[in-house]
Structure 1
Amino acid sequence: MNRREAIGLIEAIGLATAIEAADAAVKSANVRLIGYEPCKGDGMSTIKVAGDIGAVKAAVDAATAACAKGRGVWGTKVIARPSEGIEKLIYNRQTVGFIQPEEPKVETDSEETNEVTTEE
């Protein structure tokens, strides 16, 4: 996560409404769609976007307007400079569409391994 990026959250009622909201958000401003997270109950989904603060605010406003066409929006939030402590809440495995960056693999030399073999 880029520490200068703002985060926008849109909690839409219904998956179709959430998809329409995500579409409106990314078309209205220069934001990156992180993904969506299905909530546990009431058929809600939370759309997550990132970008500079002005773009995120515009995207959240556009998504909120799009939700009015569907079942509606439950809530929205824009976080200007999210703390590193909440990074795991935003970027997690429950977020559909978010691809977890791979950790660098450490290569080991096969000759250095101490394998014990027994012969019968």
Structure 2
Amino acid sequence: MKTYEAIGAIETFGIVFVIEAADAMCKAADVDVVGFENVASGYISVIVRGDVGACRTAVDAGVKAVENMGAEVYSSVVIASPHVDLQKIIDRYSLKTLLPEEN
């Protein structure tokens, strides 16, 4: 079974907080922002990809950044070795899908 790079995700409320999280994530570790999704009623998730250690560091930094702004992180996760079928979900939220002319 083929596996992919680790993925990390943070969910919070509001675009400002998710942008702050994404910025902190990218500055803290060697990860790439895969995309984001306005989940429902203002809940927004951001997804990054990289090696396991980088994703863990990035998610921890993103969570801390959101909390430092006085907001709540509703959930966060690092999946070390995602199953190949998760790529279907990731592709749906990819910036390449949202902004095809940019990539």
TM-score range for the pair, normalised by the shorter chain length: 0.7 to 0.9
TM-superposition CA deviations, 1:29-51 (whole Å, max 9, x none)? 0001111111122x111010000
- Paired residue for 1:64? 63
Larger mean CA deviation between 69-78 and 54-63 belongs to 69-78
Equivalents in 2 of 1:91, 1:64: separation in Å?
23
CA contact (8 A) 1:17 1:72 kept: no
Q: TM-score, normalised by structure 2?
A: 0.85
Equivalents in 1 of 2:76, 2:56: separation in Å?
10
Task: Compare CA radii of gyration and give the structure with the larger one.
Answer: 1
- Paired residue for 2:50? 51
- Paired residue for 2:96? 99
CA contact (8 A) 2:12 2:44 kept: yes
- Paired residue for 2:9? 9
CA contact (8 A) 1:4 1:52 kept: no
Larger mean CA deviation between 6-15 and 55-64 belongs to 6-15
Secondary structure at the aligned position of 2:85 is classed as helix
CA contact (8 A) 2:31 2:54 kept: yes
CA contact (8 A) 1:14 1:71 kept: no
Number of residue-to-residue matches in the alignment: 96
Structure 1 stretches of at least 4 aligned residues deviating more than 4 Å after TM superposition: none
User: RMSD value over aligned CA atoms?
Assistant: 1.8
Q: TM-score, normalised by structure 1?
A: 0.74
Gaps of 5+ in 2: none
Structure with greater helix percent:
2
1:19 equivalent in alignment to 2:16? no
More contact order relative to length (CA 8 Å, sep ≥ 6): 2
Equivalents in 1 of 2:35, 2:3: separation in Å?
18
Gaps of 5+ in 1: 103-120
CA contact (8 A) 2:4 2:84 kept: no
Secondary structure at the aligned position of 2:82 is classed as coil
